[in-house]
Amino acid sequence: MAEKPEFPVVQGGGSLIIAWQIRDKKVLVVGGGEVAAGRILHCLNADARVTVVSPLARLNPEVAYRVAQGQVTHIDRNFQPSDLDDSSIAMVLVAVDDPAASTTIWKLCKERRIPANIADVPSECDFYFGSVHRDGPLQIMVSTNGKGPRLAAMIRRFIAKQLPSDAGRAIETIGQLRVKLRQIAPRQEDGPKRMAWMTKVSEAYSWDEMCDLSEEDMDNLLRYYPSGKVPSLDGLKGMRANPEVGQLDVFDGSFGFSVGA
């Protein structure tokens, strides 16, 4: 009898957690209260173009501030079906204290195939907003699939406390190094080697050490890429004063060029 393969067990009932790129895309927010303020901030952090539909008198202080600062476009009235006629709308976020009106907007979005989120009504949501921890390029979202938002916030705070305080800066450094690496090894067939080498780099240095890497350090580190090696931190720092340190160990001649040249 053949052995049972050890594959992951399917756990139905979840959501597909993805990072939705909405930079420069239009998001329509219906409502101007506290919940709407949180939704708006999420979208602005993602560089979306936000339009808020709500009577001016119903805007809470934060939303009113976003309007006054020109961070969002404001339509001073209640929602109208014609607000959805704009074909450039990427998503609709509804946060009003009117269940009947919310359901009507939800149905209109379905007719137009526009992804929508109706606050506090999981059954009328194409996607959920989780509790998010943000540290520069690092984003961690905790979702309970709409079942326990407050619990999600508690779990998010617990996770955040376990992270290094400089995690965001370290990730920023890794990102800069990846960009530089793609410049010297841009071919698609270089992909596996790039990934393998970046894995070695990520495992070789601590968070604090990664944060301390200067532009010069990254350029010197890239000199080791052709050989697939990663120097010790002391060896890398030694190259600050003498770039020729470790020269004999860096190149194996197979590439025929010097990355540091």
- Residue 205 carries which DSSP code? S
**How far, CA to CA in Å, does 33 sit from each of 29, 53, 119, 131?**
11, 11, 11, 18
Instruction: Pick the catalytic residue from 76, 98, 120, 212.
Output: 120
Residues forming beta bridges with residue 89, ordered by sequence position: 26
φ, ψ for residue 142, nearest 5 deg:
-110, 125
222: CB partners within 8 A, 6+ apart:
177, 180, 181, 184, 259, 260
Q: Which two tokens stand for residue 162?
A: 């376990």
d(CA 10, CA 134): 29
d(CA 204, CA 233): 8
d(CA 119, CA 138): 26
Instruction: Please confirm, yes or no, whether 219 is among the known catalytic residues.
Output: no
Nearest of 112, 126, 134, 119 to residue 44 by alpha carbon: 134
Q: Is 50 helix (H, G, I), strand (E, B) or coil?
A: strand
Give catalytic residues, as residue numbers.
120
